[in-house]
Amino acid sequence: MTTLTLLLAAALAVVCVVYVARPFLREPEARHDVLEEPGDLERRRLALAEERDRALAALKELEFDHRTGAVSDEDYRALVGPLRRQAAEAMRALGPRLDAAPERVSAHR
């Protein structure tokens, strides 16, 4: 009796595995295998995020170069301002400021 039970359990396990794996084993249909193109708003958001990331990476590298002595104090002062402005403008354009949220809430009351 136990051998029959084990065979039935093994057969049931194989059937379950095949049933679950079936979508992964067949080729996808062409109409379901398409990425959606980002809209204009999403493209703008991605461009701003990339600009922010580039500015922050440049600031980090400038800070490292300044600390290691590769960039002089006056060169650092000349370069850090525009990079900070660029990063701040990109962050500002990416989303609403946190301090602006309470004003919108109180205006709707």
Give domain status of residue 102, yes or no: no
- Boundaries of domain holding 77: 2-26+38-96
Give domain status of residue 59, yes or no: yes
Give domain status of residue 105, yes or no: no
Specify the number of domains making up the chain: 1
* pTM for the model: 0.56
Question: Residue 66 has what pLDDT?
Answer: 95
Give domain status of residue 85, yes or no: yes
Give domain status of residue 21, yes or no: yes
Question: Residue 29 has what pLDDT?
Answer: 74
Give domain status of residue 104, yes or no: no
Structure tokens at 71: 């960039």
Give domain status of residue 75, yes or no: yes
Q: Chunked in runs of 10, what are the mean pLDDT values of the chain (109 residues)?
A: 88 94 80 80 92 95 96 95 94 72 47
Give domain status of residue 108, yes or no: no
Helix (H), strand (E) counts: the chain: 4, 0
- Whole-number Å distance between alpha carbons of 55 and 92: 13
Question: Residue 104 has what pLDDT?
Answer: 47
